[in-house]
Amino acid sequence: MVPADLKSESFHGYAPEAQKLAVEYLGALRRLPLAFLSGLLREIIDYDFRFPAERKTIERELSNLNSLSAAQTKDWFEGFAEVQLSSKLEQFDWVNAPAQFLEQLSAHLWTTHQLDRFRAAALAYAERLREAVPPEAPVVPRLGIAVIGAGADAAPEPLFRKLRSHGAYFTNVQPENGMSDLLEAIAARANAHPLPYGHWYIDGGQELPHPSGITCVSYQGLEPARTALLRRIQQETKKAGMGPEALRTIMAQMQPVDLGMSASEDPVLDRFKTKVLTEGSGTQIFSTSFAQWTAREAWRRAQPVTVLVRFAPRQRQKPMNELLLPNSQSPELDPVGSLMDADMGAYYNWLNQQRLSGSTQSMFIAWFENHNEAVAISPLLPRGTESSAAAKLPQLLSWMS
Amino acid sequence: MTFRTPLDDACALHRPFGGRISNPREIARQLALSRREFLRSAAGVAVGSTLLHGGTLLAAGPQSKRKVVVITFGGGARDQETFAPEGQANIPNLMRELIPQSAFFTQVINRGILGHYVATASLATGTYETVNNFASLPPESPTVFEYFRKQLKRPASDAWVVAPSNGFNRIGESNHRSFGVGTGARVILPKYLLSAATSGSTDYGHLLRDSYETPLYAPELGGSKFELDQMEGILKLSVDDFKANARNLASPDELSVYVVRRLMQQLAPSLLWVTMHDIDIAHAGAYSLYIEGIRRSDRLCAELWKVIQSEPEYRGKTTMFILPDFGRDADDDSGGNGFQHHRTGDALSRTTWMMALGAGIREGVVFDQPVETIDLVPTLGALMGFSATFSRGKPISALL
């Protein structure tokens, strides 16, 4: 089957809203090369479970595609059209299983040395789309907060080295009530700008009490799901013929119910949590990896205006086989290693925030929990500076906006 | 479902998050220039392209006596954690001890598949292999070990591979029809040895870590009587001695180096290939463990060089090569997640480095001209006296 053969009935397997969307833009979809279309269908097929910002992005992209003339479409997708696909790929059920198709397409691109060409086409398209459909500015400058180092007495190496040049480094932060002050600050933003999935609190340990209106995901909160997942991995890996690729495919198809999550009022968030555990690497075993990846995915997918991520100590490294065993005992922790993980995680959190619209106005703060060090980045703070002024975190936040 | 790639996050390729357009060739060139500057300032080496007659050329001795040790700085490490100013603290031994003695290539490009087994197979064959990265399959093109043994009429004991266990057991010889079964290198998988020797004792778990590239898939290790026979017959080690020594080691790569040392002492192979792997813990996302892996690899490379200098069979006639199989994704590539993976195929993950040191090598020089990872095998052929007929690479003239 080729894209030109698509019909309304082709999308009968899609969830209701996804089906409606695909049918509405059927004409545009038919004109696209398969190498590109499969990626778009992967977004559309999960439309019913996507965050509002993602939905809007897909709709705007489809609307733009619909507006292109035949000649423009040819011009925009020339790079993708040049990608040579195998007949096996063309015969794959890419309409109903676009994610699995993409895995096979990726393999094909690597083995046929077409990856670079595809990559160039994808980046060129993204750039062109950004020009044609500029991302909407956030309703308020985005604020990212990373709290690192819980449980660590001291840092083995200087902290925030990658962030300092972008903002002001504070060496005399008064740490008392720091976490509760930060939670209050994001609660105030949530009250002032109530947005669905617009304000997040991600905790790499046990989540602290927080007000409603904030989307919260925590490592401890997902402990039953992680245990269920590890148990399932144990079962699957014992099966004959199982390998890493087959396991990955199985995990990518898992639903919240497969991880023991009972139906909640928020299937979109449940699906997000499931994907963090089934698609993230290391999120199941290391809380620092979980916190970093969850924050990245929250920024990328929900495009919120506030993200507070708190890193907690991860378990100490053990043989991978042991790490993958569901274990009811409290694991031995590695607070210092976790601090280093989180220091890099904070930097990545800032990078991911800066990939969104409004980056020139956005604000970011990283703080060594219960200690005196923090770095604050904002258009109002001088870059690459250092301050020994005594200040509490709310004061730092006030200097940023 | 079986396919042949690193385990992509499909999103990485198909729906870039943010993103920017860059010229990979220009990035690779800039990377090479940065490495040269870092080295010049920190290690005090000269620029080879303009100082070809500078530096000391170490005597190589007769070709028939020459020995070669290849170390893959396994798992891939980025400049910012190694050769850039902020990373140099992680590789003190490379910077202070080995680089000043080496010919250093700043721009080694891997245009193949960025999975560890398939990339190592590509290094060992001099062609970009497309074998399944996660299956136990031999390379499709002849390996350097097969060329070496067949053309130089060397016995099986003269070519060895010491490698991590996941799939590398087939790296010693290809299924190419020009070469028969048993014409390649013998392969030792130290983790299998230990697994067999300890019968799964939990005391040695830290040495049996596996499958970093696929952190969630950790198959059981299958050490057997065959491995025990290897240990006693080849390494001349009793099970008890092996266990006692292993107890003092910190990681799988340390175990590999321990086995390499025994091999050098017992058999003194002329062609020895060591694949390190600890760095690849990065796939689990823990930055501190990735850094630990780099620091350990740095130390182990220096240790192996010391062993070469201390063993009479090797001293003065050995050329050692150190190179990563590939790098890791750049922080600013929105399709990836920085150090964690090597999935985007960006310039940073494709552009690595190589150092050569020892017999026949001009020391203390840096070469900027691009070479490819597949150039290693024909270069080894030129140094040792065999022709890598089926390789797609070219001998590196600066080393000949």
Confidence of residue A397 (pLDDT cuts 50, 70, 90): very high
Nearest CB among B2, B219, B286 relative to A237 is that of B219
Per the CB < 8 A criterion, the answer to whether A168 and A387 are in contact is yes
Lowest mean pLDDT segment, chosen from A322-331, B15-24, B123-132, B220-229: B15-24
- Report angle CA B312, B318, B321 to the nearest 5 degrees: 140
Which pLDDT does position B232 carry in this prediction?
Answer: 83
Cβ–Cβ of A244/B214 closer than 8 Å?
yes
B344 — contact with chain A (CB < 8 Å)? yes
CB–CB of A320/B209 below 8 Å?
yes
Kindly report the average pLDDT of chain A as a whole number: 94
B212, pLDDT greater than 80? no
d(C-alpha A148, C-alpha A204), whole Å? 10
Residue A307 has pLDDT above 60, yes or no: yes
Residues A300-326 have a mean pLDDT of 86
With 60 as the cut, is the pLDDT of residue A391 above it? yes
The whole-angstrom distance between B128's CA and the closest CA on chain A is: 9
User: Which residues in chain A are contacts of B217 at CB distance < 8 A?
Assistant: 233, 237, 242-244, 247
In a domain, B1, yes or no: no
Does B25 lie at the interface with A, CB-CB under 8 angstroms?
no
Q: Where residue A351 falls among pLDDT bands split at 50, 70, 90?
A: very high
pLDDT-derived band at B2, boundaries 50, 70, 90: very low
Whether chain A has a CB inside 8 Å of the CB on B285: the answer is: yes
Going by pLDDT thresholds of 50, 70 and 90, the confidence category of residue B349 is: very high
Residues of chain B in contact with residue A111, where contact means CB-CB under 8 angstroms, are 4-5, 113, 130
Locate tokens 């060992």: which residue?
B124
Please give the residue that has the higher pLDDT: either B27 or B63: B63
Q: How far apart are the C-alpha atoms of B370 and B108, rounded to whole Å?
A: 6
Residue of B nearest to A110 (CA): B113
Nearest to B206 among A124, A293, A319 (CB): A319
Quick one: which H or E segment has residue B197? helix B190-198
The ranges assigned to domains in chain A are 3-132, 143-400
Which has the higher per-residue pLDDT, A66 or B47? Answer: A66
B363: containing domain: 23-399
The C-alpha atoms of residue A161 and residue A157 are separated, in whole angstroms, by 9
* Tokens read off for A303: 């495009």
> In the prediction, which pLDDT does B6 show?
45
List chain A residues with CB under 8 Å of B10: 39, 42, 99, 102-103, 106
What pLDDT band is residue B209 in, cutting at 50, 70 and 90?
Answer: low
Q: Chain B partners of A98 at a C-beta cutoff of 8 Å?
A: none
Residue of A nearest to B211 (CA): A320
Q: pLDDT tens, B242-263? A: 888 888 888 889 999 999 999 9
Instruction: Kindly identify which residue of chain B lies nearest to residue A162, measuring between CA atoms.
Output: B86
**pLDDT tens digit sequence for A43-102:** 999 999 999 999 999 999 999 999 999 999 999 999 999 999 999 999 999 999 999 999
DSSP sequence for B325-342: S-----TT-TTS-GGG--
**Above 70 in pLDDT, residue A349?**
yes
Instruction: Note the pLDDT of residue B3.
Output: 33
Helix, strand, or coil (residue B180): coil
pTM value is: 0.92
CA distance A286 to B163: 27
Chain B neighbors of A347, CB-CB under 8 A: 331
CATH value at residue B395: 3.40.720.10
pLDDT of residue B50: 42
- Chain A residues with beta carbon closer than 8 angstroms to that of B16: 122-123, 126
Q: What is the rounded average pLDDT of the residues A241-250?
A: 81
* A39·B10 Cβ contact <8 A: yes
Q: pLDDT grade, residue B46 (50/70/90)?
A: low
Rounded distance, CA A164 to CA A168, Å?
6
Structure tokens at A199: 């304000």
Q: Does B337 touch chain A (CB under 8 A)?
A: yes
Question: Chain A partners of B332 at a C-beta cutoff of 8 Å?
Answer: 351
Residue B334: what pLDDT?
Answer: 87
Mean predicted lDDT score pLDDT of chain B: 85
Residues from chain B contacting residue A337 (CB–CB below 8 Å): 286, 288-289
Residues whose CB is less than 8 angstroms from the CB of residue B234 and which lie 6 or more positions away in sequence, other chains included: B188, B263, B266, B267
Using the predicted structure, report yes or no on whether residue A373 has a pLDDT greater than 50: yes
Would B93 be classed as within a structural domain?
A: yes
Whether residue B2 lies inside any domain: the answer is: no
User: Band of the pLDDT at B51, cuts 50, 70, 90?
Assistant: very low
The whole-angstrom separation of Cα A336 and Cα A152 is 6
Contact A317 B286 (CB under 8 A): yes
Nearest CA in chain A to B337: A348
Instruction: Give the count of domains, chain B.
Output: 1
Beta carbons of A344 and B283 less than 8 Å apart = no
Whether residue B335 is predicted with pLDDT greater than 90 in this model: the reply is: no
pLDDT band at A314 (very low <50, low <70, confident <90, very high): very high
Say yes or no to pLDDT of B15 above 60.
no
Contact state of B128 with A284 under an 8 Å Cβ cutoff: no
Interface of B with A in 244-283 (CB under 8 A): 281, 283
Residue among A186, A191, A174 nearest A363 (CA): A186
Whether residue B11 lies inside any domain: the answer is no
Residue B146 within a domain: yes
Task: Say if the Cβ atoms of B6 and A122 lie within 8 Å.
Answer: no
Instruction: Check if the interface score ipTM surpasses 0.90.
Output: yes
pLDDT digits (tens, 9 = 90+) for A329-341: 678 899 999 999 9
Q: Which of A146, A152, A274 is nearest to A203 (CA)?
A: A146
- Closest-approach residue (CA) in chain A for B23: A120
Q: What is the pLDDT of residues B156-179, one digit of tens each?
A: 999 999 998 667 888 999 999 999
